[in-house]
Amino acid sequence: MNPSFDKKSSIQTIRERFDQDVERFSNLDTGQAAVMDAPLLLELISKLAVAVVPQAENLLDIGCGAGNNTIKIVREKRGLNCDLVDLSLPMLERAKERLEKEDAGTVRIFQGDFRTLDLPANHYDLIVAAAVLHHLRDDQDWVDGFSKLCSLLKPNGALFVSDLFSHEDETVHRTLWNRYGEYLKSRGGEEYRDRVFNYIEQEDSPRDLTYQIELLRKVGFRKIDILHKNSCFGAYAAIK
């Protein structure tokens, strides 16, 4: 992918779309239908987060949506304090409402962009970022975003990411992108595939997994593990 960033959706446009899309993000059993292996990614992150940082007390979920990832983690680690960040207030309200029915500790919501919000440094044991980092744009944006995430974690804290990825080699990317298109067709036909591809083209600017791993090391993460990769989707963990 070689996106023209000036043609991408603004933060306000993205927020407005997600304001109207709360129900689609509220299914804990299926996750996001447009994400390949969404239930598996939820399960992997929830199990590994608690295993990697068993002493965790404070969790930050950026781009939390309706709270699926945090709910799954809280079910593994009761009493976890949860800070939820999202552009969309309806998403945050739904996530908080759902978490209040779980065994969470203190739940706080923060509406806005994680890069500019005043969040406590060296405070979080766990940070979760599911289907959000692909909204970062140019190289400086990625550096600033990853640096901010590292600064928010305690030493030995862990970042868990699941997301859409591009690929360094154009042939590899095209082949895996076509494979993703076939997956979408199997879920909803050609019209559904085209609709998903259109909003990805409008909103998203993903980077390849190698780029992200190299950047994570540069900003201060010392251990990085790939948890899963299937075509254009995957997950990784990074420990500060």
Residue 11: per-residue pLDDT? 72
Two tokens at 57? 């007390």
Instruction: Provide the mean pLDDT of the chain.
Output: 92
Which tens digit of pLDDT belongs to each residue from 44-63? 999 999 999 999 999 999 99
**How large a percentage of the chain has pLDDT more than 70?**
90
Residue 1: per-residue pLDDT? 44
Strand partners, 160: 128, 237
Which tens digit of pLDDT belongs to each residue from 153-164? 999 999 999 999
Stretch 174-191: mean pLDDT:
96
* Confidence tier at 167 by pLDDT (50, 70, 90): very high
Stretch 76-100: mean pLDDT:
95
3-state secondary structure of 202: helix
Burial class (CB in 10 A: 0-12, 13-18, 19+), 118: exposed
Residue 90: per-residue pLDDT? 92
Stretch 96-122: mean pLDDT:
96
* pTM score of the predicted model: 0.92
Residue 2: per-residue pLDDT? 45
Start-to-end CA distance of the chain, whole Å, equals 29
Two tokens at 190? 């050609």
Which tens digit of pLDDT belongs to each residue from 189-237? 999 999 999 989 988 999 999 999 999 999 999 999 999 999 999 999 9
Residue 116: per-residue pLDDT? 94
Which tens digit of pLDDT belongs to each residue from 3-46? 567 676 677 777 666 656 666 666 666 557 889 999 999 999 99
Report the alpha-carbon distance of residue 113 to residue 138 in Å, rounded. 16
Q: Please determine, looking at this structure, whether the domain spanning 5-239 carries the CATH number 3.40.50.150.
A: yes
Question: Domains of the chain: which residue ranges?
Answer: 5-239
